[in-house]
Amino acid sequence: MGNADRIIRLVAASIFALLWFQNIVIGTWGIVLLALAAVFALTSMLSFCPLYALFGISSCSTKDSSSQN
């Protein structure tokens, strides 16, 4: 997981949590957003996203092998 992906996930998790704690989003949608915030925060801290592994996606930058010679 790349740094940009981690930062985006942390920002989204912060916004979702703030919406719930400020009672802007309540009820079922609030709980869903809070759970999503927890997942985003956890995956960004662990630098691992199970969905990325499942689908073979990588947000890390790769080095060009021809530039290593």
Per-residue pLDDT in tens (0 to 9) along the chain, 69 residues: 678 888 998 999 999 999 999 999 999 999 999 999 999 898 888 877 777 777 777 766 666 555 555
Residue 2, helix vs strand vs coil: coil
Cβ-contact 2, 60 below 8 angstroms: yes
Query: What is the predicted pLDDT for the residue at 34?
Result: 92
Q: Which residue matches tokens 């997981």?
A: 1
Query: What is the predicted pLDDT for the residue at 14?
Result: 94
Q: Kindly give, in sequence order, each residue whose CB lies less than 8 Å from that of residue 17, ignoring residues fewer than 6 positions away.
A: 34, 37
